[in-house]
Structure 1
Amino acid sequence: MQLSVLESAITTAWTRGWQPADLAGYLRRKAGTQGERLVADLIATEMRRYAPTTVDPHWQSQLSAEVWWASEEEFLRRWPERQRNQMFVLLSRLPTLPVLCALPGQARPGASAVQIDPRMLDRVRALLAKAESTDFPEEAETYSAKAQELMARHSIDYALLMASRGTREAASGRRIQVDNPYESPKALLLSITAQANRSRSIWSRDLGFATVLGFPADVAAAELLYTSLLVQATSAMVHAGTPADRRVASFRRSFLTGYAHRIDQRLQQATAAASESAEREHGRAMLPVLASRAEAVTEAVKEHFPDVITTKATVGNRAGWIAGQVAADRANLRTHHGALANN
């Protein structure tokens, strides 16, 4: 099989909604690390077709491999035919996904407005890193509260700014990998975090990722908070229960599920407080703006996932569930509470 055939399969995958990170994660699940490495090389080859200025920045950020071979003959000689055939079968059977950003070669410079101040985002990330690494709850609370304040103010202020300018902003999406082990409670935690940040998370279990739909700043906030909470939950899990408990998979799975459910309760409580605080500052004029954005997110979900279904998490280990809820009570959640108002 010619290398050009595989390159064409990559190009077709782009038109069917896939992005580099999606393909890499999918092939890792289906063909192991060798399949992931091969598709990275194929993507590097295919990307040579496009001028850098015509490739979306988010797309660029997902690219890691570079062309390392001098000729097609060298490449083909170093990769067994069986691997190439397996790759082609997997690529040709990819399901169609929502197209979330401009395809390579179609992006227009400046078309995507910068919605998050990079300096502010760096500060938030630094604060979250400190919150995750400190052993002192009070110190972590201070870091998380400051990060919350920054993201909350930015999210609401940006929405009102766009409304005052008469600018219609569209909901968009981002895919976030949800890997084993314990992918179900991880997907639940992401869904809860997305809803708290005025977004929706649709989990594609067989594909290994979830699609978070919302306005760009809110989606970014959801991803940051989810990543931080997952780090905190994992750290708490390895110290929860007895040594015997920690060796049982059902305990760890139930721990993360209990953690997610308790986090949900705390976020709902925070939503009411954040709504009241924002309304005191901006007045009731903000409510129609946020309601309009909520409707736009709902419409985006209906458009991209018309057949989505809702499932409930199950718990098989009561001790793990209780330990997870206790750990959630100690988590530093206020990172983005101010960004949760959407009632």
Structure 2
Amino acid sequence: MEPVIDQAFAAALYSEGDAGLDTGASLLAADPTADAELFRRGEEFVRRAWERGWQPADVVRVVRRELDETAVGLAASLIASETGRYEQLPPRWRSQLDGLPAASPRNRPDRFSYASALLGLYRLLLRLPAIEPVGPPPGASPHGLHLPPAHDEPRMLTRIRALLAKAEATGFPEEAEALTTKAQELMARHSIDEALLAARTHSKEAPGACRIGVDAPYETAKAILLDAVASANRCRAVWNSDLGFSTVVGFEPDLEAVELLYTSLLVQGTVAMTKAEAGQRAGGRKRTKTFRQSFLMAYAQRLGSRLAADTARVTAAAEVETESEAAGVAAPHLLPVLAARDMAVTDTAERMFPETTTARVRGATDLDGWTHGTAAADRARVGGTGPEIHGRRRNR
């Protein structure tokens, strides 16, 4: 049994092109007794991915990007089986596992096609590079590692999630604007409260990190949008364009805010872009790709500039508020607290990514797309009269 698998691996995993895959798949298809060991070897490849810094959502994302949905289903089965060995999993893993695609029992491929798909998946897993870890692999000792506390989602985040879901679902721009603004106010208050609480209790909490997918098409504009949202939440985002994700570094409450807000703004922007594009088509224009690229670039740039402009105003107002509340009481002032957290986040990001480069952004070429994207960013209402998400922009 093992010699057949070894022969198949030698032919398929360490060669280029389809010829090696066909040879390996033919060997495996002819030997049904190899199936159990073949799957076990796949679990081992997944386990090696964890050791190189990958997490379940990362693996699924890169498999979908490089292969097809059949391979995605196989990867999900391997991940579910491999992670089932552990009594405890690192933070964030449970939600990633819950989001794995379900393997469909229908249309199971024949033995040759199944073996070919599995070998293609193994070849990809074998070649995954080491990436910056954003937490320990499953089974690692937590001693000496900073782990965000495992807890149920705070009630504040549940409210924020509900508000953003309504903003995405409504067909009325004014309602979406009001809902998004309210969600932003709650995020800002939650972040400030967490920062002040940590200062009062002399918490030893350190910044953590998470990865967020930045998928094609128009990934440059999406990465810029994510960077703007991260900066507004006192986080730092570093984009890996080759692997299709950004790593966001920050304190746990702020990381949660980044994930929520970025996802919501991207959904709102996509909906607005689709509506604007339909209007352009109705007028007889055909430049769909350039319109969308310019729209999303303008949308991201405008949101970034508004977030940066809001930072100084809202932070100053919040500092006045905390000084008034702390009159006569030994309590931390907001600005030094936020400055210390900014420094901790920056230091952590620089340790994780000692070498970064600045990506050249392709210019927008469609004036109508830029105009509509800017207007959509204004309608997303990242601003207002209440407290806002605030932070410091970091150039990558």
Is the TM value for this pair above 0.5? yes
* Bigger Cα displacement from structure 2, 241-250 vs 199-208: 241-250
Q: Which residue of 1 aligns with 2:69?
A: 33
* Equivalence map 1:91-170=2 (5 Å): 91-106=125-140, 112-113=148-149, 118-170=154-206
Q: Which residue of 2 aligns with 1:273?
A: 313
* Bigger Cα displacement from structure 2, 123-132 vs 245-254: 245-254
Q: RCO (CA 8 Å, sep 6+): is it higher in 1 or 2? A: 1
- For the residues of structure 2 that align with 1:282 and 1:115, how far apart are their CA atoms? 28
Q: Cα gap change, 1:261/1:220 in structure 2, threshold over 3 Å: closer, same or farther?
A: same
**AA of the residue aligned to 1:339:** I
Q: Which residue of 1 aligns with 2:121?
A: 87
Please report how far the alpha carbon of residue 191 of structure 1 lies from its aligned counterpart in structure 2 after TM superposition.
0.9
Please report how far the alpha carbon of residue 101 of structure 1 lies from its aligned counterpart in structure 2 after TM superposition.
2.0
Aligned length: 337
Counting helix residues as a fraction of each chain, which structure ranks higher? 1
Q: Cα gap change, 1:106/1:39 in structure 2, threshold over 3 Å: closer, same or farther?
A: same
Q: Which residue of 2 aligns with 1:201?
A: 237
Q: Which residue of 2 aligns with 1:22?
A: 58
1:318 and 2:370 equivalent? no
| Equivalent residues of 1:237, 1:252 under 8 A apart | yes
TM-score, L = length of structure 1: 0.89
Q: 1:265-317, CA deviations, whole angstroms, 9 ceiling, x for partnerless residues? A: 21122112211221111238222211111111111221111221122422122
* Equivalence map 1:46-85=2 (5 Å): 46-51=82-87, 54-63=88-97, 64=100, 80-85=114-119
Identity of aligned residues (%): 44
Question: Which of 321, 327, 337 is the matching residue for 1:289?
Answer: 337
Q: Cα gap change, 1:273/1:155 in structure 2, threshold over 3 Å: closer, same or farther?
A: same
Please report how far the alpha carbon of residue 27 of structure 1 lies from its aligned counterpart in structure 2 after TM superposition.
0.7
Question: Which of 352, 373, 381 is the matching residue for 1:332?
Answer: 381
Q: Cα gap change, 1:220/1:111 in structure 2, threshold over 3 Å: closer, same or farther?
A: closer
- For the residues of structure 1 that align with 2:211 and 2:94, how far apart are their CA atoms? 15
Which structure 2 residue ranges, 5 or more long, are not aligned? 6-37, 324-331
Q: Which residue of 2 aligns with 1:4?
A: 40
Please report how far the alpha carbon of residue 85 of structure 1 lies from its aligned counterpart in structure 2 after TM superposition.
2.1
Q: 1:15-62, CA deviations, whole angstroms, 9 ceiling, x for partnerless residues? A: 1110000000001111111221111111122123212xx112411211
SS at match of 2:389: helix
| Equivalent residues of 1:116, 1:217 under 8 A apart | no
1:302 and 2:336 equivalent? no
RMSD across aligned C-alpha pairs, in angstroms?
A: 2.8
Q: Which residue of 2 aligns with 1:178?
A: 214
* Bigger Cα displacement from structure 2, 279-288 vs 20-29: 279-288
Q: Which residue of 2 aligns with 1:258?
A: 298
- For the residues of structure 2 that align with 1:125 and 1:172, how far apart are their CA atoms? 21
- For the residues of structure 1 that align with 2:141 and 2:180, how far apart are their CA atoms? 36
- For the residues of structure 2 that align with 1:24 and 1:242, how far apart are their CA atoms? 36
Q: Which residue of 2 aligns with 1:233?
A: 269
Q: Which residue of 2 aligns with 1:242?
A: 280
Q: Cα gap change, 1:117/1:25 in structure 2, threshold over 3 Å: closer, same or farther?
A: closer
**AA of the residue aligned to 1:104:** P
- For the residues of structure 2 that align with 1:57 and 1:76, how far apart are their CA atoms? 38
Q: Cα gap change, 1:44/1:133 in structure 2, threshold over 3 Å: closer, same or farther?
A: closer
Q: 1:104-141, CA deviations, whole angstroms, 9 ceiling, x for partnerless residues? A: 12376x96325885221111111112223334444333
Which structure 1 residue ranges, 5 or more long, are not aligned? none
